[in-house]
Amino acid sequence: MSQAVAARPIAEILHWPAEGITRVPLQVFSDAELYAWEQDLIFRGPTWHYLGLEAELPTAGEFITTSVGDTPIIVVRRADNTISALVNRCVHKGSIICYQSKGKRERAHNFVCPYHNWIYDFDGNLTAVAFEKGIQQKGGMPPGFDKSQHKLIRLRVETIRGLIFGTFSDETLPLRDYLGPVMVEHIERTIYGKIRLLGRYSQYMHNNWKLYIENSRDNYHPSLLHAFFSTFKINRLSADGGTKQDDRCWHHITFTKRFTDKGDAVYDSGMIRAQKEDYGLKDPSLIDQWMEYPDQITSCIQSIFPGFVLHQILNSLATRQIVTRGPEACELVWTLFGFEEDSEEQTYVRNKQSNLVGPAGLVSMEDGMIGGFVQKAIKGDLDGVAVLEMGGTGVGSQPTRATETSVRGFWKHYRELLNV
Ligand code: FES
Ligand SMILES: [Fe+2]
């Protein structure tokens, strides 16, 4: 599907600095025309978008509603157990068809538009039009009206380890090829069991969607912005860790091995915002974790272009999905999960550690705020540029987290898709 709505060609809107991916024009975080192009070339372009978890649709007829960029989507499990994703927009006059966030339709022909009651099946076929033949031999649709010519737009759908992805484009690579082996391996490592849902919430952020995506790939900030991390030595750059990317550098993983932290004079120097004293929590059970993974990784963030994040922070596991809400706002949808085989105690630990993440989390709250700081500050200077030179000027995996390589990777693919 392609429907460029921007008024001008991108080349007239945006001039990327000559330095390339080490510079980001601040204009990209608020420009309305560029935002329209992104909807067309990124969200409806050759990219995969996380739609939800299979565990949210355990039986046939169950559905959730979500969005890909600005486009509303229905995700439903068919009778044959496969998953269908449809644009949630009536072909009559464009109303939202399904306005519930989740539910179950007992019959297949049962997505009924609230406006004039046109009805669709799980494949998006229009199966009934109210008063199609008129009433009392008067009115109705013309004899040539053919319902089969009016369908909801369907997305291609693929799944991996219970994660559902959809794409609008026929050109998008098959999901596993799009992810690449490094990303596939990490998803399969993190989601090693049958997913059990623990909770879901969303947060509205007063910043452009890309400011959050940059943040999720920015492994340089956690021990600096998040005082909780550095104070309680959960995530410091002085612990073993690194940054991995796929061969094309579209996606990213950053990881930490918490118990390898040997301390570092930099954290004790007073030059950065970390506690010199050996602080402890009165109730340390909040950060008690069991070593869940054989690779000894205690925290990792995986970010899939453009808007999906999978996290393990201690034993807290979650998906995060970015939803665009105009040039200067976005929504982040969090789904916390564990596994069917978890013991009661393990579920308790996961739930307790969910206090670290999410909009009010002891760690994540700063991420919900920092994008707004940037958005406010750049308003006055749209000719400015951001500087991304930590860890060099290129992209690719590095055996450190003191790098912005993955943020540069995001901009590399962004520029490829927008051709800027
Ligand atoms: S807008 Fe949906 S039936 Fe008219
Ligand atoms: Fe953060």
Domains of the chain: 49-158 (2.102.10.10), 181-418 (3.90.380.10)
User: pLDDT per residue over 61-80, tens digit each?
Assistant: 999 999 999 999 999 999 99
Whole-angstrom distance, CA of residue 321 vs CA of residue 356: 18
- Nearest ligand for residue 222 CA: 2
The ligand 1 atom nearest the CA atom of 91: 2
Q: Is 238 in the pocket of ligand 1 (CB under 6 A)?
A: no
User: pLDDT per residue over 107-125, tens digit each?
Assistant: 756 899 999 999 999 999 9
pLDDT of 285: 85
Which range, of 3-12, 35-44, 168-177, 191-200, averages the lowest pLDDT?
3-12
Q: How far is the CA of 168 from the centre of ligand 1 (A)?
A: 23
pLDDT of 147: 97
Percent of the chain with pLDDT over 70: 92
pLDDT of 217: 95
pLDDT of 267: 62
Residues in Cβ contact with 208 at an 8 Å cutoff, skipping those fewer than 6 apart = 28, 29, 30, 35, 327, 328, 329, 330, 371, 375
Looking only at the bridges linking them, the beta strands covering 316-324 and 308-313 are: antiparallel
User: pLDDT per residue over 243-278, tens digit each?
Assistant: 999 999 999 999 988 777 766 666 666 555 555 566
Which ranges in 160-208 belong to alpha helices (H)? Answer: 175-179, 181-190
Summary mean pLDDT of the chain: 92
- Nearest ligand for residue 113 CA: 1
Q: Is 115 in the pocket of ligand 1 (CB under 6 A)?
A: yes
Which burial class, exposed, middle or buried, applies to 321 when counting CB atoms under 10 A from its CB (0-12, 13-18, 19+)?
buried
Contact 337, 196 (CB under 8 A): yes
- pLDDT grade, residue 5 (50/70/90)? low
The ligand 1 atom nearest the CA atom of 116: 3
Write the residue with the smallest CA distance to atom 4 of ligand 1.
Answer: 116
Nearest CA to 372 out of 215, 201, 220 is that of 215
pLDDT at 1 over 50: no
Whole-angstrom distance, CA of residue 204 vs CA of residue 194: 30
User: pLDDT per residue over 200-234, tens digit each?
Assistant: 999 999 999 999 999 999 988 987 898 887 777 66
pLDDT of 337: 98
pLDDT at 404 over 60: yes
